Amino acid sequence: MKVLALANYLGEERVLPDVKKLVEHNNIDFILFAGGIVKGDDRIKEFDTAEAEGRKADFAKVSHEEKTDLMQYESFFKGLGELKIPVYYIPGRADAPIHRYLREAFNHEIVFPHIRNVHKSFSFYRNHYEIVGFGGEISEKERNEEFILRYPRWEVEYHLKIIRDLKPMELLMLFHTPPYGGKLDVKNGEHTGSQVVEDFIKTYDPLYAVVGSGSEQGEEIIGTTHVINPGSMHKGEYAIIQLRRREVQFGTF
């Protein structure tokens, strides 16, 4: 069973033909995407600047990004949807506002019913693997779903408790935010992950957890869970996971 792990598309349509070749050449069974569909540079800059200055971010300053966002959502969903294999995905920090992300997910899943949003939700692959996800930034800072996607611990805990009610299967988890303090959350020399993510990995003990933030490809073991950062899709980076063999191969297009 081969899985292609990806993250951080960031609107780079040029990589999609390479993904198609990779899927066909390696007989990929399904795809796990750990967030980061659109760039949202101006929106993030306005939010981060406003937060640092102690003021409310002004959405009017970034409303022009909607057209670009919609084009990037369209290319992402169409590009992966046309592969005709299951795709399980979550949003990244910049995939806001949430209503735009959910609207585009809804519209494209009608056209491509084999792609599934698992943000705050779950899905199954052949009644053997259950895939549960939580996207965006996980942080104790103020919750936001307009300029960025940022969620507190209690909200993650509330949505993930559904795992206890699912049938016992092999569990795969998707987070955009990496666990704190290991090899997978380093950006510019600093750890940027979340202790919350590590806690949930330890609690639910998935077979694999795929994370989407951080600056480099890598892997680490937390408890018995194999945690994978596939790198950034927009830079041509990916990981192929052989689930039954518990092997991971990192690569670049």
Cα first-last separation, the chain: 21
Question: Which of 242, 184, 232 lies closest to 208 in space, CA to CA?
Answer: 242
pLDDT of residue 222: 94
135-150 pLDDT, tens digit each? 999 988 899 999 999 9
Q: Structurally, how many domains does the chain consist of?
A: 1
61-108 pLDDT, tens digit each? 999 999 999 999 999 999 999 999 999 999 999 999 999 999 999 999
pTM of the prediction?
0.96
Q: Domain range for residue 105?
A: 2-252
pLDDT of residue 215: 67
Is residue 160 helix, strand or coil? helix
Looking up residue 205, the CATH number of its domain turns out to be: 3.60.21.10
> Could you tell me the CA-to-CA distances from 51 to 8, 45, 54, 56, 211 in Å, in that order?
24, 10, 5, 7, 25
Query: Is residue 190 pLDDT above 80, yes or no?
Result: no
